[in-house]
């Protein structure tokens, strides 16, 4: 509901998509340090962006912050005593103090408001619900006033934010003044129909409302109705003026809320003198400077808040990303430039500034960046190498910790450094500081920041103008009196006026954070490796196994993953003094068969983290060739699989006995599955695999002989898969005789049988107890008995499953068990007259025509060896039809007529016709084998007629062959050809699949219904017909029809051309239409050939269209038309995106989503020189969309009506999800009076 409201920062959570190894959790990682701005954000708890924006504004109001800090524990109490029953602890101001101290001093990227919202009495639901920041401002101030009653800060809100307005009515007769004074903490000003803040204030406090004529005022002094003037003025101005903008209004016509997004300007400095009652003071008394803008992005029912804030005390580093490479200081003004160029002096000077001369190495790099404005890598790495290496080289000056995470100056070196470079460093840092202040403190460059929850970014003052209007626009304005001056000691000093106990708490917290980050850095940068030593292993049964024990064959090694593979190899050499010869390190992994070598590690200069070595990785140490004299297969392709192989046991005389033996066997993944026979010494047979993953059920599938050359991996076998080997002499009952494969545990153990035998019975249906192993014959006999039907029915009846729609399915053979028949417990069966088909018979449904309605099919039982011709004859006889112009088609899975059964002499079994299939009797004789019957249509898009056409009026012509799918548009109307498709049926062609497309066009030209004189087949363009529209463009006159893979049901339409056409393989044919200026219509279509040899890019297409219409490419806009949706999608020139890892450009491809551009698509063109709106739609599009909405509404009403009808058996309908009522905002405060 709230769009991008939930913007929690999860940057500290890692997502390792590695090799499935054990990963170190980051749940306990300390929060990230502050970024380059040196300011802290506030984490969003789910819906608290409005709270974060207001808290940051109060935090950057120094007078408010310091007034709150001035209240000590003796007045507010202590948080440690908050749970004591008799203690009066003012929790809200205490938590606000603590939050401000964290924002000032705690070195973390974002602070948490969880403790503060807990003090408000908010639940997790409240923290996930968004509220209005203007409402929060008033409620928070009220809560603070209540919390501070009886303290020296009882008037804090009143002192800083309270102002008064006086409303006056002046009688025109006696000049009597009637006035009423109002207090305010914030001014609410109108936005609608107002150009800006000053205009709104003028209407409120300068303009007068006159009472006259029918609207007179009753003057108490005159005691009669008189003319009068009403006005309002600001009587008392507060030091801080809060202005709330009325962005949200209610439309009484539409009865809905809306957000006012029109342009509303506000000045950076405003003179309130014209709006005040007393104006005799100096202008400076009325001057106010803008210092905070709370911005709302979204609509009236939700959105997101962030805030633009002016850093009055210059606490942050106001430096832009693009200026990072520029130093904060002017190095030319430093007398000794060598001092900056010498990293030794800079680093020693930075360390001398630290109290303990100890600092994490990462923070040392950050402080270097802040001081000189450029990172170590950019300025010094090329000459001096990495920072840690530089510190190691100068070990006589710097002392690195054992894990190289922290650094400090040696004592002797620090004393010498202080004496040697004190003078230089003082001058250097004096210059650095003075220059930084000069750049940061210029009055012309105020420090503004965009604080968006956790993110803090510097902005320029001119960026505020972007928030004048739009869906993301200013919502609250905060001004401070220009005469308010900050003391010099507060500048760039976050510790100023912070209470001592909070300073101590924050210092301790920072030390703890540094320790945790150092520990976390050490933990995150070390990996535990399991070294498997090659001489302690031997290779058998497809995998590596320890010679003695796993404990003696594996060594654990903890190693810094920032070090290189060469360092790891050297460390292992030092550990293994006995090693001789080459050492190869390979990544291995344990599989059920044993240890398998996956990948050899290369690149000694690469760090372990760069080659993605995970924690807990198994490393095999060997010579890279053999182990124990056996060459080792490596790689994921030959990973060993441990399979459970089942086969028939052999007796002592060499004969097979009916007993299965299950034994484990190991095979390489890339071995052919037929090698199972070799491993078991079985000459030939059948292999079955179990495809069911769920426990308790098994589904055995036979592997065809042609698939025996496929590998185990291609067959989808995994570790633990079962393979059954049946010899050529094994019986078919091998599986069913094994009790281990039969699942006898079922929650439902009955079937429901309905009486459909046309004989009367006492009950219509009965429940028959059964298991999956019950034979169907037994169930049928039980049903006949319980239904009390005639015993003769047992000889001439069958059971047929009933689907969810009530349709009777194919009869179930009596000899099958329920499991073999695929019946589930609880199913419904019908007891029907007639015998079930035997194992050599087929039960088929058939129907007449292609429009088949459920339940109208006829049924027939035939032998599976019957031919298609004989089956057709039997069906025609049953329907009472005769003739030779019929053929059979098989119904496909979409319940539509599929491919015809062309081979009339073929047996049904050979054509894979199964019991339960539906065949369709279709009128029309099939073409001979190798021939196609192709319906031909005539396609005439709108536009200029070819010069070779007859002069007769063809606008709405109907060819003699008959049917028209769509009529063309009305003559004289503005062209809307993108929506009109006219196809006239010409007739059918019987043509060989070996014929060319040119020959098909030539034969189509001879059809009697074609009344045109066409010069040659090259003047015709051929399309397939899809959904009654031109679909795929058929290219190449000499290409054979079978190469197009048209299929038996393909229809083709022919389009006339004005000139010959020969499309290349990279040419795409598009139909462009120019938008008519001032009309919601298009001109006639123009065919455009677009060469896509250099890519399907938007810029290439725009350039091609611009060339066709002789327009500048920047002055056109194009869009693709989707006729099924009546929608246009503008084709934008996307920017090429570059991935960080591979540095490859990702090209925009119009063949893919969302355009799916292809031949024949309509492209609308808009000329911005004459029309500048972005609407591509036409009146017909509006009508089409409305019809689609009506159709969807009708379907929805039908579903709702059906749901109401079924409400007596269903659990009830699910109503549409309505917007929940708006919850009021409140802050719970204790009583301190």
Q: Which residue's entry shows tokens 């009583």?
A: 1231
Structure tokens at 697: 């059920």
The DSSP result for 161-172, as a single string, is H-EEEEEEEEET
How many Cβ atoms from other residues are within 10 Å of residue 1136's Cβ? Answer: 11
Catalytic residue positions? 49, 304
The DSSP result for 887-911, as a single string, is EEEEE-TTSSEEEE---TTSBTTTT
Helical H runs in 478-549?
A: 500-524
Ramachandran bin of 1126, using left for φ above 0, alpha for ψ from -120 to 50, beta for the remaining angles:
left
Helical H runs in 979-1076?
A: 997-1004
Ramachandran bin of 818, using left for φ above 0, alpha for ψ from -120 to 50, beta for the remaining angles:
alpha
Query: Strands across the sheet with 983-992, in order?
Result: 983-992, 931-939, 1052-1056, 1020-1026, 1029-1034
Structure tokens at 80: 């440690």
SS3 call for 473: strand
Q: Is residue 163 within 8 Å of 183, Cβ to Cβ?
A: yes
Q: Is residue 1075 within 8 Å of 1052, Cβ to Cβ?
A: no
Query: What distance in Å separates the CA atoms of residue 257 and residue 236, rounded to the nearest whole number?
Result: 34
Element (H, E) at 527: strand 526-533
Q: How far is CA 1190 from the centre of its chain?
A: 31
Element (H, E) at 863: strand 858-863
Q: What burial letters (b/e) apply to 812-851, b meaning 16+ CB within 10 Å?
A: bbbebbbbbbebeeebebbbbeeebbeeebbbbbbbbeee
How many Cβ atoms from other residues are within 10 Å of residue 308's Cβ? Answer: 24
Structure letter (DSSP) for residue 698 = -
SS3 call for 586: strand
The DSSP result for 363-429, as a single string, is HHHHHHHHHHSS-HHHHTHHHH--HHHHHHHTTTTEEE-TTSSEEEE-HHHHHHHHHHHHHHHHHHH
Please report the beta strands in 252-346, taking only residues with DSSP state E, as ranges in sequence order.
256-259, 269-271, 287-299, 302-310
Is the preceding peptide bond at 663 cis, omega within 30 degrees of 0? no
Query: What distance in Å separates the CA atoms of residue 438 and residue 385, rounded to the nearest whole number?
Result: 33
């Amino acid at each position: 509901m709230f769009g991008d409201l939930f913007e929690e920062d999860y940057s500290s959570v890692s997502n390792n998509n590695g090799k499935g190894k054990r990963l170190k959790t980051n749940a306990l990682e300390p929060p990230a340090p502050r970024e380059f701005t040196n300011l802290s954000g506030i984490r969003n708890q789910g819906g608290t962006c409005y709270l974060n924006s207001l808290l940051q504004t109060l935090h950057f109001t120094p007078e408010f912050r310091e007034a709150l800090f001035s209240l000590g524990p003796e007045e507010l109490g202590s948080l440690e005593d908050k749970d004591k029953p008799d203690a009066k602890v003012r929790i809200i101001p205490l938590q606000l103090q603590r939050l401000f101290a964290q924002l000032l001093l705690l070195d973390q990227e974002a602070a948490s408001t969880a403790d503060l919202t807990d003090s408000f009495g908010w639940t997790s639901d409240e923290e996930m619900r968004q509220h209005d920041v203007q409402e929060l401002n008033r409620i928070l101030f009220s809560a603070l006033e209540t919390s501070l009653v009886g303290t020296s800060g009882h008037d804090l809100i009143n002192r800083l934010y309270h102002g008064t307005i006086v409303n006056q009515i002046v009688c025109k007769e006696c000049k009597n003044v009637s006035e009423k004074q109002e207090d305010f903490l914030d001014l609410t000003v109108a936005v609608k129909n107002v150009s800006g803040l000053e205009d709104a204030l003028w209407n409120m406090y300068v303009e007068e409302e006159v009472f006259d004529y029918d609207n007179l005022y009753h003057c108490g002094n005159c005691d009669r109705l008189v003319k009068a003037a009403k006005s309002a003025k600001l009587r008392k101005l507060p030091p801080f003026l809060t202005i709330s903008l009325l962005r949200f209004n209610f439309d009484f016509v539409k009865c809905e809320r809306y957000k006012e997004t029109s342009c509303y300007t506000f000045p950076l400095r405003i003179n309130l003198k014209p709006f005040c009652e007393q104006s005799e003071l100096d202008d400076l008394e009325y001057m106010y400077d803008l210092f905070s803008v709370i911005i709302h992005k979204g609509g009236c029912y939700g959105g997101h808040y962030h805030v633009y804030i002016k850093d009055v005390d210059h606490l942050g580093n106001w430096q832009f990303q693009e200026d990072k490479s520029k130093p904060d200081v002017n190095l030319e003004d430093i007398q000794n430039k060598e001092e900056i160029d010498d990293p030794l002096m800079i680093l020693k000077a930075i360390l001398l500034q630290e109290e303990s001369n100890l600092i994490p190495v990462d923070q040392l790099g950050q402080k270097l960046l802040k001081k000189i404005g450029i990172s170590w890598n950019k300025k010094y790495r090329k000459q001096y190498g990495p920072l840690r290496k530089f510190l190691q080289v100068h070990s006589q000056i710097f002392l690195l910790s054992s894990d190289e995470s922290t650094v400090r100056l040696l004592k002797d070196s620090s004393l010498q450094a202080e004496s040697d470079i004190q003078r230089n460093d003082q001058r250097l840092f004096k210059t650095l500081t003075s220059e930084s202040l000069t750049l940061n403190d210029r009055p012309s460059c105020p420090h503004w920041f965009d604080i968006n929850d956790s993110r803090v970014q510097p902005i320029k003052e001119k960026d505020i103008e972007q928030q004048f209007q739009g869906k993301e626009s200013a919502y609250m304005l905060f001004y401070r009196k220009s005469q308010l001056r900050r003391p010099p000691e507060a500048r760039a000093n976050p510790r100023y006026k912070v209470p001592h106990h909070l300073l101590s708490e924050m210092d301790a917290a920072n030390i703890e954070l540094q320790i945790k980050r150092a520990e976390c850095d050490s933990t995150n940068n070390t990996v535990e490796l399991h070294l498997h030593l090659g001489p302690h292993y031997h290779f058998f049964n497809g995998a590596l196994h320890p010679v003695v024990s796993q404990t003696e064959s594996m060594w654990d090694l903890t190693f810094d993953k920032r070090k290189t593979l060469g360092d790891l190899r050297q460390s292992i050499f030092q550990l293994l003094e006995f090693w001789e010869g080459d050492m190869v390190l390979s990544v291995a992994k344990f599989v059920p068969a044993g240890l398998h070598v996956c990948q050899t590690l290369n690149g000694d200069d690469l760090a372990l983290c760069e080659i993605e070595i995970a924690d807990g990785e198994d490393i095999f140490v060997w010579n890279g060739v053999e182990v124990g004299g056996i060459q080792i297969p490596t790689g994921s392709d030959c990973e060993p699989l441990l399979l459970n192989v089942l086969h028939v046991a052999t007796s002592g005389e060499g004969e097979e006995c009916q007993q299965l033996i299950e034994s484990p066997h190991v095979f390489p993944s890339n071995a052919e599955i037929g090698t199972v026979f070799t491993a078991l010494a079985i000459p030939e047979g059948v292999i079955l695999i179990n495809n069911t993953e769920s426990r308790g059920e098994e589904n055995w599938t036979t592997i065809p002989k042609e698939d025996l050359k496929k590998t185990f991996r291609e067959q989808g076998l995994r570790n633990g898969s079962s393979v059954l080997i049946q010899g050529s002499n094994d019986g078919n009952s091998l599986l069913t005789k094994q009790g281990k494969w039969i699942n006898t545990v079922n929650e439902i153990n009955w079937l429901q049988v309905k009486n459909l035998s046309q004989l009367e019975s006492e009950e219509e249906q009965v429940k028959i107890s059964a298991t999956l192993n019950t034979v169907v014959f037994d169930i049928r006999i039980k049903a006949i008995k319980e239904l009390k039907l005639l015993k003769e029915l047992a000889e001439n009846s069958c059971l047929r499953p009933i689907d969810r729609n009530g349709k009777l399915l194919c009869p179930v053979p009596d000899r099958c068990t329920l499991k073999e028949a695929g019946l589930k417990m609880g199913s419904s069966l019908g007891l029907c007259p007639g015998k079930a088909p035997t194992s050599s018979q087929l039960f088929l449904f058939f129907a007449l025509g292609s429009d088949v309605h459920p339940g109208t099919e006829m049924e027939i039982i035939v032998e599976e060896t019957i031919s298609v011709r004989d089956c057709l004859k039997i069906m025609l006889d049953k329907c009472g039809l005769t003739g030779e112009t019929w053929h059979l088609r098989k119904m496909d899975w979409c319940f539509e007529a599929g491919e015809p059964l062309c081979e009339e002499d073929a047996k049904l079994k050979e054509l894979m016709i199964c019991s339960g299939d539906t065949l369709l009797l279709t009128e029309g004789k099939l073409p001979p084998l190798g021939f196609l019957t192709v319906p031909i249509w005539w396609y005439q898009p709108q536009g200029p007629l070819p010069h070779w056409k007859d002069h007769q009026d063809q606008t709405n012509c109907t060819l003699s062959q008959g049917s028209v799918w769509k009529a063309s548009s009305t003559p004289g109307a503005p062209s809307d050809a993108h929506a009109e498709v006219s196809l006239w049926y010409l007739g059918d062609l019987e043509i060989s699949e070996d014929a060319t497309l040119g020959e098909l066009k030539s034969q189509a030209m001879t059809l009697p219904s074609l009344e045109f004189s066409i010069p040659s087949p090259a003047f015709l363009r051929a399309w397939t017909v899809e959904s009654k529209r031109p679909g795929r463009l058929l290219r190449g006159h000499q290409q054979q029809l079978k190469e197009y893979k048209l299929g038996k049901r393909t229809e083709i339409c022919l389009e006339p051309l004005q000139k010959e056409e020969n499309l290349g393989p990279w040419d795409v044919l598009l139909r462009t239409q120019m938008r008519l200026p001032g009309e919601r219509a298009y001109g006639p279509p123009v065919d455009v050939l677009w060469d896509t040899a250099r890519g399907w890019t938007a810029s290439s297409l725009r350039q091609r269209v611009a060339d066709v219409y002789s327009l500048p490419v920047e002055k056109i806009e194009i869009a693709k038309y989707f006729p099924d949706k009546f929608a246009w999608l503008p084709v934008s020139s996307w920017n090429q995106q570059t991935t960080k890892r591979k540095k490859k450009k990702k090209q925009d491809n119009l063949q893919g989503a969302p355009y799916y551009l292809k031949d024949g698509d309509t492209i609308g063109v808009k000329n911005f020189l004459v029309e500048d709106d972005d609407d591509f739609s036409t009146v017909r599009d509006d009508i089409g969309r409305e019809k689609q909405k009506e159709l969807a509404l009708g379907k929805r009403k039908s579903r709702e009506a059906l749901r109401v009808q079924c409400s007596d058996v269903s659990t009830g309908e699910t109503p549409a999800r309505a917007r929940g009522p708006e919850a009021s905002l409140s802050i719970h405060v204790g009583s301190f009076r």
